[in-house]
Structure 1
């Protein structure tokens, strides 16, 4: 993924200099914390170091596991408000103050999880099952993600549109021109349509 990204960013992007501004490509490097977060958080759990039978608690989908992690803070607040459970203590040991868990909730939002039909498991009501699920699915991912990457990724998700531009280019095959037009709509709504760029691409 990184090789493809940088091959495009450094060599293959054709930029019309007549309509180019430095701000048009800030997202190219600005999105990197989100990519790094995804690449470290998404891979499945390595079960070799966990107790026998751990595979029974592993989510079948890595995406489902990550989206379910976004529910953990609210779930613990409701079902374990005093932090007495083994799961709560283990999570806090790996992620003091749940800073990285909050990043998961800001990036893989519970509202999106609900739209995709991903919810907290009914089995979580069993404290033993809940602990084993956290042990297998959440703790390894929290351990893999560096604090700084989590912080920067959450900030990028909250305060920029870089991920949107990234998806426009790579998932929707939009041109740099379309991305620039979208950026101007957001950042300069009163003047973007007056630019000659608008008439060039629309």
Structure 2
């Protein structure tokens, strides 16, 4: 059961929304203070610097993603269905605007301007997601439900890039349906009978 939201959690939640809207340099502590209704000093008490705040935000995001993947692994046995569920999760988040963009994908596009400790967290997310996708694709190919045209690792990287690119296209076109337009053929190719 979740306890009451703390100021710490409110700051992270607000920062996450602002980050998705405008990127790393698109918000300040003053913006957060205004939304949360606290003073800048209160934010500095919890997060001495913006890099501390965003590093913590990305670390929490990674924990949430890992917990979501673990739940998916427990609830869905078939590798093809796991890929469908993963894409379905993002399709729903983009459609209802609850999480219209992967925080780490957004930050990856800004790595040249990110503090190193934030960039390290972002890279760790990509490595973990790639490792999971690789394992799903390997399992699916072994079981015969997924048909790979390259190594599982290369397919995982292409799958991840396609999903993140589909998020970008949906945002660029202002049309959440673009995500499915791009990801559906990807799943169809992987699950097609050879």
* Fold conserved between structures, TM > 0.5: no
Query: Quick check: which one's helix share is greater?
Result: 2
Normalised-by-shorter TM-score class: under 0.3
Relative contact order higher in (CA < 8 Å, ≥ 6 apart): 1
Normalising by structure 1, what TM-score?
0.23
Taking structure 2 as the reference length, what is the TM-score of the superposition?
0.24
